Amino acid sequence: MADVACAPSPEGANKLPAWTNPDLDRLMVVRAAEGSFRSWAESLVDLPAGSLFARIKGVTVGGPATYSSVQAGRDLHVELHSDLLYINHGCAPTLEFDTERMEVRVAHGRDLKKGDVLTFFYPSTEWTMAQPFECWCGAGEGRCLGRIEGAAKLGSEKLRGHRLNRHIREMLKENEAGLDKGWGIVSDMLTHHPI
């Protein structure tokens, strides 16, 4: 019986779906401009809406929230040790991070095309941001949120239409029901009236 090669031919390597070809170098390219925090990722593949783009692997679990971490649960942050780190925020994202399955999927409702800038909606994973920032996603008036501080500052109305991870949905529900044990009120008091 002859051995059968399972690797793709070089000319067809970029046509394989992400789940059979998880090599990020074949899925995305990182670009950079002059200055701090001016790197981004672009797609090297075409994929239909909702399809698997990549698995989230090789993370460091635990530790505090940082500008580069992804909140994977209520009290859990992970550091990405791959080019997935360069997938920036977008208010009209091309990708969705699923922290329960540790997957990155093409956003529902739109196909991913080669050359698209890779973005995900940070409040879909982040309750609060370690380093809030002014958004420059270019989604347009009525779509771009402006200042990105995490889901806690937005409320369900502004989050409507975005796929949110379970921990964000649960924390949002608790916060809006007043089950946050008063910490939101205490935090607001300390912010506006420091001790």
Q: How far is CA 105 from the centre of its chain?
A: 10
Tens digit of pLDDT at every position of the chain (195 positions): 333 333 333 444 444 444 444 579 899 999 987 866 678 999 999 999 999 999 999 899 988 899 899 999 999 999 998 999 999 999 999 999 999 999 999 999 899 999 999 999 999 999 999 999 999 898 888 899 999 999 999 988 999 999 999 999 999 999 988 865 555 544 444 444 444
| Cβ-based neighbours of 26, under 8 Å, separated by 6 or more | 13, 14, 16, 44, 45
Q: Considering the entire predicted model, what is its pTM?
A: 0.78
Cα-atom radius of gyration of the chain, to the nearest Å? 19
Which burial class, exposed, middle or buried, applies to 30 when counting CB atoms under 10 A from its CB (0-12, 13-18, 19+)?
middle
The first and second tokens of residue 149, run together, are 């501080």
CA distance 16 to 186: 51
User: In what order do the strands lie in the sheet containing 52-55?
Assistant: 52-55, 103-106, 95-98
**Integer angstrom CA distances of residue 180 from 39, 175, 176:** 36, 5, 8
Helix (H, G, I), strand (E, B) or coil at 11: helix
**Domains in the chain: ranges and CATH:** 17-192 (2.170.270.10)
